[in-house]
Chains A and B, each alone.
Chain A
């Protein structure tokens, strides 16, 4: 995982409420035995027609989506199944942040473990963002995780909540295991100084 640095990007708007993980990546693609190549299946059934051709009316197929790293989504994004393939597909497509008023819990937790930042904004800001993207599809937003804020066009900043531990892991570009390994010298020093090894198999 790479450190989550400040970035600015165009925004893909997907206003549907309650977008479930079956829409993000249909279950038939979960048979895969690897994590790779899921970007092609992101929003598969919205993105392609019956012959597998991209549907020009779907936002991810439009030029504005190319290179976009921010998904502006409707309320309660990511409800449904616990599949971790949902954040994998989103990040492999190139998204680094999803903005919504709320996220389903398991999806949000899975995202934080996979370098995808769920940004929770109040309803008025949410509506304003959709209006801004509607007016100017080239509009860019900056996501500043260190400052815990969204930088809106015109320079206004909107703060967003995130727990300090997840924030630090994302900033350092580590998952929970990586966080522990950052402290390896201290752990080894402690272990070396312990006189009697504890039998972890007992009790």
Chain B
């Protein structure tokens, strides 16, 4: 019987010829990623009491959630992590100014390869399915076990296959597609499932856009998510729990917006009344890549951010920052009135620069709009594509890019 990609990868990693949904397998871990919570992992690891991590070459630590340190507590955490990576000989450590957002840094430095099993102490670790890896988020205690043993058990997930055809309408992107799908399936619609995206519309997407799909699949509960790669794929006779077919041209009539306070509360833009915007955020592991900065720069070139709105732009990594600078995007954005934050998670998780006050409204290219996610519990976050974020920054309200074009 044929296997899905998740089944195939977990079978290989656990030394079996096959794996089927609901079987429990013990898989060798190819890559273990942590960010600031490496400090929590470190503490549990010390409790276990072994002297050395299982394989320092397979551990990657990237500081991103609170960089540079905004408080003494964070500075203490960062310092403890630096001492630990030195002690353990962990070479793949990306400190302040050397990396950026963990999921971007992992990808752009070639740590992830097709067929790998990747775990990360971050829920958006699903991102790396864009490179054909089975990549899942785990807790800190779980990771301490991985650092010790290099293995982890998994219940093999069943798979939902999503086939997308048709052209994306102008200004619409992978973000609109995945928000639409999350709106259809719901926040628990892929709980403990793997998701395979395929179809001509997916194969036409850039790698950066494929990362958006894998990244946000977490917001419908996915254990792992994949977009196609050449090196490994599902068998033609693989069995799926469900196959969805989507015509992007037909269903994506207009930009999709996740309204407060749930990622599955998705509406087409025209269903919103004119929503005034205090802050617009362009960044995060979901949408802080070069193509995202490019589309914003294209819309904002020669214009000014609306006087009632502030625009915060966070390149996802040092490398993207530098590229965007060379290409002139940064200059364009700054001239338009954007503030550029250092590469990192920024205000997405509500603990770094760009926090919202009570009553404020934010349009954001990030991944979560839960109550209080970006600051005050009485603030509101709308999630949208980079194009809509840039257009809204110009218009001062949530706007279609067509409205501000030219």
Contact = CB atoms under 8 A, between A and B. Distances in A.
B324 to A, nearest CB: 27
Contact of B188 (A30, A104, A106, A163): A104
Contact of A80 (B37, B71, B191, B370): B370
Contacts of A80: 123, 368, 370
Interface stretch (B138-146, B173-181, B233-241, B286-294): B138-146
Given A33-B73, A80-B123, 18 more contacts: A18-B264, A22-B350, A27-B349, A27-B351, A31-B74, A33-B77, A76-B188, A79-B221, A82-B138, A84-B141, A102-B188, A102-B191, A106-B139, A110-B142, A113-B139, A113-B141, A114-B141, A177-B48
B371 A23 contact: yes
B371 A45 contact: yes
A109 B142 contact: yes
Interface residues of A, number: 34
B123 A110 contact: no
A18 B262 contact: yes
A175 B141 contact: yes
B142 A23 contact: no
Interface string B18-51: 0000001000000000000101100000011000
Nearest to B373: A22
Ranked 4 nearest A-B pairs via Cβ:
A76-B188, A45-B377, A110-B139, A22-B370
A81 interface: yes
B103 interface: no
13 contacts: A17-B187, A20-B370, A26-B350, A31-B74, A33-B76, A80-B123, A81-B349, A82-B140, A104-B188, A105-B223, A110-B142, A113-B139, A163-B24
Query: Main SS of the interface on chain A?
Result: loop
B243 interface: no
Interface string A72-112: 00011001111110000000000000000010111001100
Interface of A: 17-18, 20, 22-23, 26-28, 30-33, 45, 50, 75-76, 79-84, 102, 104-106, 109-110, 113-114, 163, 175-177
A104 B186 CA distance: 13
Contacts of A81: 122-123, 349, 368
B199 interface: no
Nearest to A45: B377
B396 interface: no
A81 B142 CA distance: 15
Interface of B: 24, 37, 39-40, 47-48, 66, 71, 73-74, 76-77, 121-123, 137-142, 145, 187-188, 191-192, 221, 223, 262, 264, 349-351, 358, 368, 370-373, 377-378
Contacts of B123: 80-82, 106
Given A22-B368, A26-B372, A31-B71, A82 B47 contact: no
Nearest to B153: A165
Nearest to A31: B73
Contacts of B137: 82, 106
B381 to A, nearest CB: 11
A32 B40 CA distance: 10
A122 to B, nearest CB: 15
A82 B187 contact: no
B74 to A, nearest CB: 6
